[in-house]
Structure 1
Amino acid sequence: MSRIQPTKRYQCFIGGRWCEPASGQHFESIDPFLGKPWALIPRCDGRDVDAAVAAARTALERGEWASMHPSRRGQLLRRLGELIARDADRLASVEVQDNGKLYAEMRGQLSYLPQWFHYFGGLADKIEGSVIPIDKQDMFTFTSYEPVGVVAAITPWNSPLMLATWKLAPALAAGCTIVIKPSEFTSASTLELMKLVEEAGFPAGVLNVVTGFGAEIGEPLTSHPGVDKIAFTGGEESGRHVAHNAAQNFKRLTLELGGKSAQLVFPDADLDKSVKGVISGIFAATGQTCIAGSRLLIHESIHDEFLDKFIALAGTARMGDPMSMETQVGPITTQRQFQRILTCIEMARAEGAECVMGGRPATRPECADGWFVEPTVFMNVSNSMRIAQEEVFGPVLSVIRFREDDEAYAMANDTPYGLGAGVWTTDQRRAFTAAKRLRAGTVWTNTYRSVSYMAPFGGFKNSGIGRESGQEAIYEYLETKCVWMSYEKDVPNPFVMR
């Protein structure tokens, strides 16, 4: 696939209209492979946030969307899914140019994303309340569900459309309206998606996009009194700040934050399969994923053999242009993250960890002027080191030995995070034991990085609050209402609680 040329200029999308930001300003989006600007993104501010929230509020409370039957909402969701499938190639190319992830992976994600809209479109008219056999005479009591209201959806730079979809599909199925703030580093694909929202026929104001920087629009959006819920994916510190803002007027909150996921390789594991799985967990997506399996906990009896196989295979990884289907490791998305990864590598060296692979910027000719880091492996890591406790968000693996299963579970759980974990074993009893013992929202056994619209996703501890995907996700965007109806003939003592 070819890159979009020349520099493209975008507008923001508010109230069903394409418009210039109130500031009249734009900022550059940088192609991580070429290290050059390729798009101009609207620099919105609080005025645009106010307009977007007002448009979402109007759509929620008045007009076509407010009175739309859930079955019709489902039809619109399914239509949007069809349009995404039709334009998957184009959307994937935009994602790659914006964030540098592999076209092969982005194309696969874009082909799969329609399933979220089909799934939640089918769920839209199947959210049923219940009649409660209440313990009060002459009373009829039932529950119903209503949309939580206006949702602020804040997405990160590593998989913008996938992580937006995880929020949009259940929120729209529930009947909410949405203001989306994509990362300032990767806003283009979300704006491209709004063209399909228009084509699908969503009423004006149901979906709105404001783009720009955290202090200028993230802050006014997350603290806006017209926002009822925040759905956020990003880093732990930003998530903590978002939670603080939400608490000021008790907004509902979903947070999908960072991780320091462990992959546990037991002595009975299929070595060849587990080597590939661990590589997938840390070097796929250049390690720029919240579920990166960045800690390898490996039994001492297979430590040397496993690492020999691992380094031999990882060393063959093809780096270069992420648009090429042959590339396996692409660039780091932002220059700031590139520098942070290099800082973490030096931190590991200073702690006494032994670098046995990579550990430096990639200077291969095929990497051009991009922000590339060689896939990196550290041995002799203790679980207390910062490199084993802090999220790097890059292609850096820490290798930690263990002797007993209990020791492995304890080390796996001994971080502030609890997003994912991988288990490699052919022992069924051990697999079930590990799934129970590991404190993580997702445990993969003999696989890694598998996700589905049917399966809930989210974390324990500092990895977040709430769940995305699966049937559970739609309830994150609904409020439960209990209705009491009396049919008694007389009113008893009004001074006594019923």
Structure 2
Amino acid sequence: MTYDLPDGQLFIGGAWETGSGAEITSIYPADGSVNRVFRGASRADGERAIARALAAQADPAWRGLKPHERARILHRIADGIEANAARIAYIQTRDTGKSLRETSALVASAAGTFRYVAAALETLDDTMTVPRGDYLTLSVHEPLGLVAAITPWNSPIASDAQKVAPALAAGNAVLLKPASWSPLVSLELARIIEEAGLPKGLFSVLPGAGREVGNLLVEHTSIAKVSFTGGTSTGRTLARQAAEKLMPVSLELGGKSPTIVFEDADQTLAIAGILFGIFSSSGQSCIAGSRLFVQRSIYDSFVARLVEATKALRVGDPFDPETQVAPLIHADHRASVSAMVEAAVADGATLLCGGKAPTGGIYDAGTYYMPTILADVTNDALICREEVFGPVLVVMPFDDEADVIAQSNDNVYGLACGIWTRDFPRAYRMARAITSGTAWINTYKQFSISTPFGGEKDAGIGREKGREGIRAYMAQKALYVDLTGRPHPWARMED
């Protein structure tokens, strides 16, 4: 079944308007056809959205709502996502090239995020602290005010929900800037949020150039926080800009995550998890397990099995339910992935499989790339240091725990890791020893909205998800209430 795509109108402060910024072209990666051409947001559009958001957020009709009353709206948004799940999944597949099976799961995740955040909001208590005098002391939390959310092109509906839901739950207004390569599903989310009854002005969707709209959202004095998911170099720039105004930021950036297979691992289980960890989403995932370390005693036989399993993966049409690896997002991105593989081979890496775009039939028109495994590299090779963001895995042997811990941590990123072993004490030691925000044991790339997520080192700052994910969009305030009814003795005003 096909669905109409969003018409390209922008949602600016509660009103659907034609953007006045540069033209945006959404392309279907599977065949290069054009989904939609429309005008993105300009700086003036962003300024208008900010003005409307400030007025709406200051209105007691929103700011004064009790948590359970805000939660009702979040539940209605979740209902709207679920009721439109097939349509949203279709739009995201057209926009990103992800398989329909994957986008359907992402839509379910987005609905679950709004549902969880609504439930958490109703039970998120402030605290009465222990007094140190004749007064009552409390710790309370208040909205920051106006929050900007900047999301990437690889999983927009899930990334949007992960930022928008807790920011709204906290009582803020939210300006969402989706990536120009995948703007349509965020506009569809705006329609659902509008229909759920969120007061006008509290939410805007502003696809547009980073140098124009993105800079405005970071630099504007009224923006109280920016939550950004994307590349590390852009994150560094954003952090410098935020520092000038002493604005808090949340940065979920790149990764070069290690996956470790010990000789006692269940190899079938490990191979299935490794394939999913690197080749699902066509490798276009920050937490992709892109560096594989295999204990030397099983290295040759394990890698041989892995290569055969990789060759058997189904590369194809995103709407085919049998497809496991769909096309990459854009021709420019595929060229970047291909160039990194070619450079690695030129530097001495051995290509075990893949390393090229498939040809013939549907492949000629789309931006497909074969699942790729490279061997005979060392951990200091460029292909092991830089994020490829494509279906490319490098495999290396290791000798013992100390060796693999050192190699795993010898990287600027610290986002995630995977550990495959039947020895639980060893798994626990490894999970604690490797610098990462997430460690998976005998599984990979599993997520829960209830569990905090983020990275270390160049992988980012801050955490999203979990109950405290709402607090990340709030300011903490201390309250002191006198219990004596007497003037302070310093003033010497006693009767």
TM range (shorter): over 0.9
Judge which range, 197-206 or 40-49, deviates more.
40-49
Which of 465, 471, 474 does residue 461 from structure 2 map onto? 465
* Matched residue, 1:302: 298
One-letter code aligned to 1:33: A
Cα separation, partners in 2 of 1:131 and 1:3, compared to 1, 3 Å = closer
Residue 186 (structure 1) aligned with residue 182 (structure 2):
yes
* Aligned counterparts, 1:219-230, within 5 A: 219-230=215-226
Residue 258 (structure 1) aligned with residue 254 (structure 2):
yes
Residue 101 (structure 1) aligned with residue 98 (structure 2):
yes
* Aligned counterparts, 1:350-369, within 5 A: 350-369=346-365
* Matched residue, 1:18: 16
The 8 Å contact of residues 14 and 194 in structure 2, kept in 1 or not, is answered as yes
Shift of 1:3: 6.6
The 8 Å contact of residues 20 and 39 in structure 2, kept in 1 or not, is answered as no
How many pairs does the alignment contain?
A: 491
The 8 Å contact of residues 296 and 399 in structure 1, kept in 2 or not, is answered as yes
* Matched residue, 1:122: 119
Shift of 1:199: 1.1
Shift of 1:470: 1.0
Cα separation, partners in 2 of 1:232 and 1:417, compared to 1, 3 Å = same
Provide the C-alpha distance between the structure 2 equivalents of 1:50 and 1:299, rounded to a whole number of angstroms.
56
- Deviation per CA, 1:465-488: give whole Å up to 9, x if none: 111111121111111100122344
Provide the C-alpha distance between the structure 1 equivalents of 2:146 and 2:271, rounded to a whole number of angstroms.
45
Which of 243, 247, 251 does residue 247 from structure 1 map onto? 243
One-letter code aligned to 1:294: S
* SS of 1:302 mapped into structure 2: helix
The 8 Å contact of residues 41 and 187 in structure 1, kept in 2 or not, is answered as no
Provide the C-alpha distance between the structure 2 equivalents of 1:327 and 1:494, rounded to a whole number of angstroms.
78
Tell me, which stretches of 5 or more residues in structure 1 are unaligned? none
* SS of 1:225 mapped into structure 2: coil
Alignment root-mean-square deviation, CA = 1.5
Cα separation, partners in 2 of 1:494 and 1:385, compared to 1, 3 Å = farther
* Aligned counterparts, 1:12-161, within 5 A: 12-23=10-21, 26-136=23-133, 138-161=134-157
The 8 Å contact of residues 415 and 436 in structure 2, kept in 1 or not, is answered as yes
Shift of 1:351: 2.2
- Deviation per CA, 1:80-100: give whole Å up to 9, x if none: 101101111110110011111
Shift of 1:164: 0.7
Which of 398, 403, 411 does residue 402 from structure 1 map onto? 398
TM-score scaled to structure 1, two decimals? 0.96
Judge which range, 173-182 or 51-60, deviates more.
51-60
Provide the C-alpha distance between the structure 2 equivalents of 1:178 and 1:45, rounded to a whole number of angstroms.
17
- Deviation per CA, 1:393-447: give whole Å up to 9, x if none: 0011111110111101111111001111000001111111111111111000110
Shift of 1:359: 1.1
Residue 210 (structure 1) aligned with residue 206 (structure 2):
yes
* Matched residue, 2:379: 383
Residue 291 (structure 1) aligned with residue 287 (structure 2):
yes
The 8 Å contact of residues 257 and 462 in structure 1, kept in 2 or not, is answered as yes
Provide the C-alpha distance between the structure 2 equivalents of 1:58 and 1:125, rounded to a whole number of angstroms.
25
Shift of 1:36: 2.2
Identity %: 37
* Aligned counterparts, 1:333-344, within 5 A: 333-344=329-340
Provide the C-alpha distance between the structure 2 equivalents of 1:22 and 1:378, rounded to a whole number of angstroms.
46
Provide the C-alpha distance between the structure 2 equivalents of 1:486 and 1:111, rounded to a whole number of angstroms.
49
The 8 Å contact of residues 251 and 460 in structure 2, kept in 1 or not, is answered as yes
Provide the C-alpha distance between the structure 2 equivalents of 1:123 and 1:226, rounded to a whole number of angstroms.
28
Provide the C-alpha distance between the structure 1 equivalents of 2:38 and 2:65, rounded to a whole number of angstroms.
33
Provide the C-alpha distance between the structure 1 equivalents of 2:218 and 2:366, rounded to a whole number of angstroms.
33
* Matched residue, 2:425: 429
Provide the C-alpha distance between the structure 1 equivalents of 2:3 and 2:256, rounded to a whole number of angstroms.
34
One-letter code aligned to 1:335: A
TM-score scaled to structure 2, two decimals? 0.96
Provide the C-alpha distance between the structure 2 equivalents of 1:67 and 1:140, rounded to a whole number of angstroms.
23
The 8 Å contact of residues 123 and 173 in structure 1, kept in 2 or not, is answered as no
- Deviation per CA, 1:88-120: give whole Å up to 9, x if none: 111011001111111111111212321111111
Tell me, which stretches of 5 or more residues in structure 2 are unaligned? none
Shift of 1:76: 0.5
